Structure 1
Amino acid sequence: MRIVRYYPRGLVGDGGMTNSVKKWSAAMIRAGDEVVIAYDQGVEPPADTPIEWIPIPHSGRTRWKVPVGLKNVLNGADLLVLHSGWTFQNIRAGMVARKAGVRYVLEPRGAYDPHIVRRKRWLKRPWWVLFERRLVQGAHAIHVFFDEERDHLEALGRRGPFIIASNGVEAPAGEVWDGGSGGYFLWLGRFDPEHKGLDTLLRAVRKLPRRERPDLRLHGPDWHGRKADVGRMIDELGLGEHVTMGPAVYGADKQRLLVQAAGFVYPSRWDACPNSVLEAISLGIPTLVTPYPLGCHLAVRGGAFLVEGEPESLAAGLRSLGSPKAAAVGARGAQIARTELSWDQVARTWLSQARSLL
């Protein structure tokens, strides 16, 4: 099967989506399929990769920038995969695929979650009517990470097939959790406090008696200036001696920060399959989650602590994260990552479902 993944930022993004597109592609190639990533020209692809990278020209500016060379890449393709949602690039790519007679799969990565749909609804509603609805309804299949996400699409009128396969995670190549030598709890992500539940997490820390408050470290890139808001909230709640903020971390620095953490916390108000959680559990770090699909998937199997996303519940969860049973939960999370969530396993799941729909 020849699969074309269209992702313009395939070689310039540094976030979870960019990394996942590469990991999905490499795992599908290992499974014996042919994968191409079509991306916005201007950057040279890496030389040491099994993935075929094809640069294509784009025209237009910013939000209205669209591919103009995608049709040729689709010659001989069985499927086109489009990533994210609410972008004119996807709208144009879907039109090109329909005209070329190539089926396309949408991989929205939570873009149609009701919380996201409600954000800037005054813009999204006309966009849906003019563009997005046809893209969603015309997809040969929609890839969601967990079955619960189907409801979001069906509420928008989607009636076609779904491919259900979680994101994967790589087995640790170096150090694993050292038992928490750093003594701190860690959060990694972008500073979108509403989405990621950072405001609630800070209130949870404030609810704990001073002697029980953990050393909490928050690391990640800014998002629309909201990192400063989180800093102000830390000051307003009097948590400066307990909570620190830092930049996004990568490579060996990120690995060190993770393996020395006493626990990992990811209290999103909504989410689907956050890569940071997958990375934390793969290292055996005790992890605290809220009821998004990956969190529920792990907790029901004993691989994470699950609490509601309210300050009182999160405060109790922070106590659990520092309890004697935390190490066993972390070990179970690592086992789930190895046995259920490797990239090769999830890629085979995806490919099996995709073939059944052709």
Structure 2
Amino acid sequence: MSAGTQRVLHYYARYLEHPSGVTDSLNHWAEASIAAGDDVSILAAQPTGGDRNEFAFEGVVKTIPHWGRSRGTWVPIGLLRELKRGDILVLHEGWVLSNVVAGAIARIRGARIVVMPHGVYEQQIVANQRDLLGIRARMDRWLLGRASAVHVFYGGEKTVVREFAPSVTRFITVPNGTTEVPADAMWNGAGDYFLWIGRFDLFHKGIDNLLEFWARLPQPRPKLRLVGPDFQNGRAAALAMVDRLGLGDSVDIGGRVTGAAKDELLASCLAYVHPSRWESCSIMLLEAAAAGVPSLISDSIHAAHELGPLRVLRSVDFTDDTVDGQATLESVAGNRELAGSAFDWAATEARWSRVGTQMVEAHTALGLRTQGGLRP
């Protein structure tokens, strides 16, 4: 590392366990700091399970020693050697002892703390924490209150964080970004199905609401494909709902898709549907926009309020049985005007190169950076 180079360390203990929206987002934020000339590391625990993150950032990720046997008990003792005065330590997600300890070590070592919650302080998540004595909430509030800034993706998330931790006053508001999609993976709408891609978390991802919405549609119902990795037997629960609601002729459920298979599914769908009950800043939704796919999302997530007015997508309350579901789907299916707006937005103001620069500028404006980068 040369003199005058800002050190930025991202800590996410589970980073190497499996790929996710969080790890994808983290990779891009790390790339943004590298583009600014920073010395960047991603610090993680050695994985304990059988899965691995095949998209780990080679040459940047580093495992550090931890005490404890699992996510709930990990203590990142290796940070004592890694952190230096003036470093920026970015802590991802929350509700884990390891992040709180990491924050305490950062304060001891004179590093600046930025917490990037990725939506973990949404009311539904807070309400469902197993925290009878409130100890976990107090620890996270302690951490948030001592952070130099909390990095949220949309303005509405500031209210969410303040409701949980009223002492937080310094925010960075910069969303996840988009990457360029190859010409052969751009949306063509040649298929006959609507598409959802994600983790089979039946409640969080609103899969139950989507299936009930589909059951209310008049016959013959359009085809719907749901694909993605399993989560706590959520795929089996979805299959059971399909059977119970009599949707076997219109709904197809499959496993995780990646690469060319995923690109083809997205390119050929009539539209992408995203029924999450809550969401911070969905990477999958951004991928759909980048490919020029018309999208219909739940009106309860931040993107509905941020991107709806820009005509990047359309939103609906999937739980409202007075909604004309057929007309709603027809308004997005094959909608080339909506697709064009999504693509134009994704190709300009939403690009990672642009939002990454905004992040570095925000660090500078808040006085977090002590060296290099985009400092004037």
Amino acid aligned to 1:64: T
TM (normalized to structure 1)?
A: 0.93
Specify the alignment match of 1:301 in structure 2.
310
> Separation in 2 of the partners of 1:99 and 1:347?
28
Structure 2 segments unaligned to the other structure (5+ residues): 1-5, 368-376
Residue 183 of structure 1 is matched in structure 2 by 192
Quick one: which of 197, 207, 211 aligns to 1:202?
211
Give the match for residue 56 of structure 1: 64
CA-CA distance at 1:239 after TM superposition: 0.4
CA drift at 1:177: 3.3
1:254 maps to 2:265: no
Q: What's the CA shift for 1:195? A: 1.3
Q: In 2, are the aligned partners of 1:265 and 1:288 still within 8 Å (CA)?
A: yes
CA contact (8 A) 1:35 1:51 kept: no
Counterpart among 64, 69, 72 of residue 78 in structure 2 = 69
Does the Cα contact within 8 Å between 2:112 and 2:147 map onto a contact in 1?
yes
Partner of 1:23: 28
TM-score by length of 2: 0.88
Single out whichever of 133-142 and 295-304 deviates more from structure 2. Answer: 295-304
- RMSD of aligned alpha carbons: 2.3
Residues 35-54 of structure 1: pairs in structure 2 closer than 5 A: 35-41=40-46, 52-54=60-62
Tell me what 1:278 maps to.
286
Which of 326, 331, 351 in structure 2 is aligned with 1:342? Answer: 351
Q: 2:53, 2:275 → 1: CA distance?
A: 36
Q: What aligned pairs does 1:98-247 form with structure 2 within 5 A after superposition? A: 98-120=107-129, 122-123=131-132, 125-129=134-138, 131-156=139-164, 157-211=166-220, 213-247=221-255
Q: Measured at CA, do residues 144 and 314 of structure 1 come closer, stay the same or move farther in structure 2, by a change above 3 Å?
A: farther
Answer with 344-353 or 175-184: which moved more.
Answer: 175-184
* 1:145 shift after superposition: 0.2
Instruction: Give secondary structure in 2 for the equivalent of 1:32.
Output: coil
Distance 2:11 2:183 in 1: 32
Sequence identity percentage: 35
Give the equivalent residue in structure 2 for 1:318: 329
Q: Secondary structure of 2:134's match?
A: helix
More helix by share: 1
Supply the AA of the counterpart residue of 2:161: L
- The number of residue pairs the alignment matches comes to 354
Distance 2:62 2:86 in 1: 13
Q: Is the contact between residue 84 and residue 107 of structure 1 (CA under 8 Å) also seen in structure 2?
A: yes
1:11 corresponding residue in structure 2: 16
Q: Deviations over 1:7-37 (max 9, x none)?
A: 2233332111111111111122113333211
Distance 1:204 1:319, change over 3 A: farther
Aligned partner letter, 1:181: A
Q: Secondary structure at the match of 2:281?
A: coil
**Cα shift at 1:98:** 1.0
- 2:268 corresponds to which letter in structure 1? Q
8 A contact 1:42–1:55 mirrored in 2: no
- SS, match of residue 185 in structure 2: coil
Go from structure 1 to structure 2 and tell me whether the alpha carbon gap of 1:123 and 1:19 turns closer, same or farther (over 3 Å shift). Answer: farther
Q: Distance in 2 between matches of 1:84 and 1:305?
A: 28
Instruction: Give the CA deviation at 1:126.
Output: 2.9
SS of aligned partner of 1:195: coil
Q: Which runs of 5+ in 1 are unaligned?
A: none
In the TM superposition, what is the alpha-carbon distance from 1:257 to its structure 2 partner?
1.1
Alpha-carbon distance in structure 2 between the residues aligned to 1:133 and 1:171: 38
Task: Give the letter for the 1:304 counterpart.
Answer: L
Please give the per-residue CA displacement for 1:125-156, whole angstroms capped at 9, x wherever unaligned.
33113x21211111110000011111111112
Instruction: Quote the offset at 1:61 in angstroms.
Output: 1.2
Partner-residue secondary structure (3-state), 2:204: helix
Give the structure, 1 or 2, with the largest relative contact order (CA under 8 Å, sep 6 or more).
Answer: 2
Task: Check 1:124–1:314 CA distance in 2 against 1; reply closer, same or farther (3 A cut).
Answer: farther
Q: Check 1:151–1:251 CA distance in 2 against 1; reply closer, same or farther (3 A cut).
A: same
**1:327 aligns to 2:336 (yes or no):** yes
**Could you say if the C-alpha distance between residues 135 and 178 of structure 1 is closer, same or farther in structure 2, counting changes exceeding 3 Å?**
closer
SS in 2 for 1:82: strand
- Cα distance in 1 for partners of 2:318, 2:217 equals 16
Maintained 8 Å contact 2:86/2:110: no
In structure 1, the partner of 2:274 is: 266
Q: What letter matches 2:314 in structure 1?
A: F
| Paired residue type of 2:129 | K
CA contact (8 A) 2:131 2:137 kept: no
Deviation digits for residues 187-236 of structure 1, max 9, x if unmatched?
Answer: 0111112211111111111111112x211000111211222111111111
Q: How does 1:77-92 map to 2 (within 5 A)?
A: 77-92=86-101
| Partner SS, residue 318 of structure 1 | helix
